[in-house]
Structure formats: C-alpha cells, structure tokens
Amino acid sequence: MPLIGEIDIFGVFVPAVFVLMLIAYLINLAIRTVLERVGFYRFVCIAPFSISASMCWFWAL
C-alpha cells in the first residue's frame, strides 16, 4: 500500500513530486523547442529563462 504522496509504477513507489517534475520537464522541452524554432532565444539569454520557465511549469502543476 503506497504512502501519501507516492505513486505506484509497476510495483515501484515513486514520489509524486518526481512525476510532477517529469511532466514539467516534458512541457518545458516542448515549449523550448517551439521557441528555438521561432527564434526567441536570439533576444533572451537561454539559461536563466529556461530555469525560470521550468520552475514555473512545476509550480503550475
């Protein structure tokens, strides 16, 4: 029986925060790919924007 805040994936208990961070990473990866193709990163520094965007997606979930 899983504890509160854990998710059972094929018999392995994983913290729910890990799953949320994985979803946030995938959303960030998709948005970052679109922004690279549009040329957004020519005007914005990549590292601070990428880190702050991933944290915002994590907290939005």
This prediction has a pTM of 0.67
Query: Of the candidates 15, 23, 16, 24, which has an alpha carbon nearest to the alpha carbon of residue 52?
Result: 24
Tell me what pLDDT residue 14 has.
Answer: 86
Tell me what pLDDT residue 47 has.
Answer: 67
Instruction: For the chain, state the CA radius of gyration.
Output: 15
Give mean pLDDT in consecutive 10-residue pieces for the chain, a chain of 61 residues: 74 85 85 86 74 76 68
Query: Of the candidates 22, 30, 31, which has an alpha carbon nearest to the alpha carbon of residue 58?
Result: 22
Tell me what pLDDT residue 36 has.
Answer: 85
Residues 14, 37: Cα–Cα separation, whole Å: 34
Tell me what pLDDT residue 44 has.
Answer: 76
